[in-house]
Amino acid sequence: MEKLSVGQKRLIAEFLSNIGVGWFAAGVISSFPFWQKSLLGSVVSFLWGTTFSVGFLRIALFFTKGVKT
């Protein structure tokens, strides 16, 4: 496999960051109790949203590691 260029790394990092933001919006913001029917549903949604959001942002940071601006 070829080594990725700086531009490719930035593009991948931006894409993964957007996925992380999407998971944050879908899992964390939408998990407020008045939108969920049960407290358990709110907690599960919050945990999944936080987990995937942090996970995708960490992967994005991995791709930008060592890239100079």
Where exactly are the structural domains of the chain? 8-64
User: Which of 68, 69, 63 minimizes the C-alpha distance to 15?
Assistant: 63
- pLDDT tens figures, 50-68: 898 899 889 988 888 877 7
Q: What percent of the chain is predicted at pLDDT more than 90?
A: 9
User: Which of 17, 39, 44 minimizes the C-alpha distance to 28?
Assistant: 44
More confident residue, 49 or 42: 49
pTM of the prediction?
0.72
